[in-house]
Amino acid sequence: MFELNNQVKVLKKFSERIIIGILFFLFGFCILIVRLWYLQVSLYEGLSEKADNNRIAVVPMPPKRGSVFDRNGEILACSNCVYTLEMSSVKADKLESLFKELEPAIKISENNKRRIARQVIEYGRYKPIIIRNKLNEFEVSWFASHAFKFPELKIKSRWIREYPYCYEVSHVVGYIGRISDNDFRILDDSKIANYRGSQLIGKKGIEKTWETTLHGYTGFKEVEVTAAGKPVRILKSVDPIPGKDIFLSIDIGLQKTIYNAFASKKGAVVAIDPNTGEILALVSVPSFDPNLFIDGIDKNSWDSLNNSHDYPLINRALYGTYPIGSVYKPFVALAALELGKRSSNDKIMDPGYFECGGQKFRNPGSIAHGLVDMYKAIVVSSDTYFYSLGLDIGVDELHDFIKQFGFGQKLDIDLDGEKQGILPSTEWKRKKYSNKKMQKWYLGDTISLMVGQGYNSFTLLQLAQGLTVLANNGLYRKPHLVYKTKSPTLENEERIFYEPLHQVPLNYDNVSFIKSAMKDVINYGTAKNAFLRAPYSVAGKTGTAQVFSLRGSKYNAKFIDEKLRDHALFMGFAPSDNPKIAVAIIVENGGWGSKEAAPIARKIFDYWLLNNN
């Protein structure tokens, strides 16, 4: 009986344990069901998207960059599809052996070797580095048959930028270069996505200022890949939209004519169509080869450009500021007439110098011109006459009048790097100097301004623009380089027009008088030799600008360091009665404008008025 009771108890405990076990099992199963429901229903969309992301790779497709043309359709910058050899995961000490293995078929220049060595250090292990651009068919086929020897190399097709005219237009077109962290910081957040897959961006010139238009829009491919990352199939594709082509107003033939005319000299030229404001030529010499910058310039090439005392990277037409010497005189004479400070018939005696406050301001070479009126003063370039105007015209009156022509201010041209220059006034001097004594404006300061010296400091673009306004009888048009864009896919053109910004209020008789005097500068004055027997009429003015003060001593170029010699200048427009082109020229440390700058102007006018048309 006792044993029976024990068995009953054991069975009862066993049954309880079975029930508890089943309850635990059911509880765990319920938790599993809830968890599965949570994963499959609640988190379905998020987890599904993650799974898709793991098997779908989004591959950006960079667009073809738009081309840059001159006004006649000559290519100044273009993008061509080429085969390139790219490298990843190579240590610096292995480069020489790699180059030797490639040498039987694929030659690599010393410049490229230096660039690659630098980029291996800068880019790290996995960022691809271009070994060679523009592989030909033989090089591609050779590499394909030897690819097993080079697991770290691969051939890719890519767009590469080319600049056919290396030196003639480099300061206008500019160049592209690898996108830097600073470039990404400058880009708007909305534009960063458009540069996925792109390695290059405009760095200088039109390439930079018209970057958005030239770049285009990035496309993409959604590619299904295996766990190892190998592509299986393309799920979706959106083609990139090529950048627009840009047509500049410059003429490459005129650019080449000017560039060759300078030979080994330094300086700049700006030529403008007075009827439209289109810039026909903008040359700065010496220049540089923009092709060096496309895949990253090597150290030796960069040092030779950046450390050169001739500063080839500087756009002298926009960034250089100069005293402009006697080419300023027509504007000063016009100011005297318009402000009623002096009649064109008023005469003074020019003994070769002007004396004021016990100081003598001399003509070049102390040449005496005798009795001169305004007309003769412009033709023979009498400094004494214009010095005397300093007693009549106040500096602030001159400032306000001259400013209307574009001097001393940025002209908002479609290029980067433009300087403001200095158009002096009493207010400017007060802001410039903190010393009270230096803030004071003296009569001698005004006298120097009358002949384009003193505190005057203008860009050559400002001089060309001021001349254009004068040629247009006061009509002010915005100077610009881009006159048309064109979509390569839609084949539609967009012309860019600029309405005149304002009219400088000028008396027509006064303007005609100044132009007439400028015509006789060419016919009988300082520029007559340069334009001898020219079959067209020119109105112009030569100029010679001092780089440093002689302090009363005699100027002799032979005994002065070249960098301290006078600048040679010329400005002029032709034909004088119906201007088609206005030109401003500076030859740095060239000496006399009539001997160095005016002959260059003759070649420019001959090309544009005779050969070109």
**Per-residue model confidence as pLDDT tens digits over 596-607:** 999 999 999 999
**Per-residue model confidence as pLDDT tens digits over 431-490:** 999 888 899 999 999 999 999 999 999 999 999 999 999 999 999 999 999 999 998 877
Q: Which of 78-82, 167-171, 540-544 has the lowest mean pLDDT?
A: 78-82
Cα four-point dihedral sign 14, 20, 24, 25: positive
On the question of a cis peptide bond just before residue 575, with omega within 30 degrees of 0, the verdict is: yes
**Per-residue model confidence as pLDDT tens digits over 15-45:** 777 777 787 777 777 887 877 776 666 666 6
pTM of the entire predicted model? 0.82
Contacts of 523 (CB under 8 A, 6+ apart): none
Paired with 248 in beta bridges are: 482
Q: In the structure, what pLDDT confidence band is assigned to residue 222 with cuts at 50, 70 and 90? A: confident
Per-residue model confidence (pLDDT) at position 301: 87
Would you tell me how many other CB atoms lie within 10 Å of the CB of residue 178? Answer: 16
Task: Tell whether the model's pLDDT for residue 311 goes beyond 70.
Answer: yes
- The Cα–Cα gap between 459 and 461 comes to 5
- The Cα–Cα gap between 283 and 268 comes to 5
The CATH 3.90.1310.10 domain(s) of the chain lie at 58-248
Per-residue model confidence (pLDDT) at position 114: 82
**Per-residue model confidence as pLDDT tens digits over 565-590:** 888 999 999 999 999 999 999 999 88
- The Cα–Cα gap between 171 and 314 comes to 8
- The Cα–Cα gap between 461 and 441 comes to 28
CATH class of the domain at 58-248: alpha beta
Per-residue model confidence (pLDDT) at position 43: 63
Task: Tell whether the model's pLDDT for residue 225 goes beyond 50.
Answer: yes
CATH level 3 topology of 253-611? Beta-lactamase (3.40.710)
Q: In the structure, what pLDDT confidence band is assigned to residue 559 with cuts at 50, 70 and 90? A: very low
- The Cα–Cα gap between 142 and 335 comes to 73
Phi, psi of 88 (to 5 degrees): -145, 155
Angle at 261 between CA 258 and CA 266, to 5 degrees: 90
Residue 579 region by backbone torsions, left for phi larger than 0, else alpha for psi between -120 and 50, else beta: beta
Could you tell me the CA-to-CA distances from 23 to 18, 27, 31, 34, 117 in Å, in that order? 9, 6, 12, 16, 70
Per-residue model confidence (pLDDT) at position 16: 73
Average pLDDT over residues 393-410: 95
- The Cα–Cα gap between 511 and 300 comes to 53
**DSSP state letter for 108:** -
Side chain identity at residue 89, one-letter code: S
> Minimal CA–CA distance to 414: which of 105, 176, 204?
204
Task: Tell whether the model's pLDDT for residue 550 goes beyond 50.
Answer: no
Cα four-point dihedral sign 18, 20, 26, 31: negative
**DSSP state letter for 67:** P
Task: Tell whether the model's pLDDT for residue 126 goes beyond 60.
Answer: no
- Distance from CA of residue 495 to its chain's centroid? 21
Average pLDDT over residues 362-366: 83
Phi, psi of 203 (to 5 degrees): -110, -35
- The Cα–Cα gap between 356 and 14 comes to 128
Among 170, 287, 326, 576, which one carries the catalytic annotation? Answer: 326
Task: Tell whether the model's pLDDT for residue 323 goes beyond 80.
Answer: yes
Q: In the structure, what pLDDT confidence band is assigned to residue 229 with cuts at 50, 70 and 90? A: low
Phi, psi of 450 (to 5 degrees): -60, -25
**Per-residue model confidence as pLDDT tens digits over 288-299:** 999 998 877 888
Cα atoms in the Cβ-side hemisphere of radius 13 Å centred on 259: 21
Q: Are 122 and 128 in contact (CB under 8 A)?
A: no
268/594: higher pLDDT: 268
- The Cα–Cα gap between 284 and 258 comes to 10
Q: In the structure, what pLDDT confidence band is assigned to residue 123 with cuts at 50, 70 and 90? A: low
**Per-residue model confidence as pLDDT tens digits over 177-196:** 888 888 888 777 767 878 88
Percent of the chain with pLDDT over 90: 52
Q: E strands along 446-553, which residues?
A: 475-476, 482-486, 493-495, 502-503, 539-545
The CATH 3.40.710.10 domain(s) of the chain lie at 253-611
| Catalytic residue status for 326 | yes
Q: What is the rounded average pLDDT for all residues in the chain?
A: 86
Q: Are 166 and 256 in contact (CB under 8 A)?
A: no
Per-residue model confidence (pLDDT) at position 324: 94
Q: Which of 48-57, 423-432, 490-499 has the lowest mean pLDDT?
A: 48-57
- The Cα–Cα gap between 180 and 200 comes to 9
Q: In the structure, what pLDDT confidence band is assigned to residue 236 with cuts at 50, 70 and 90? A: confident
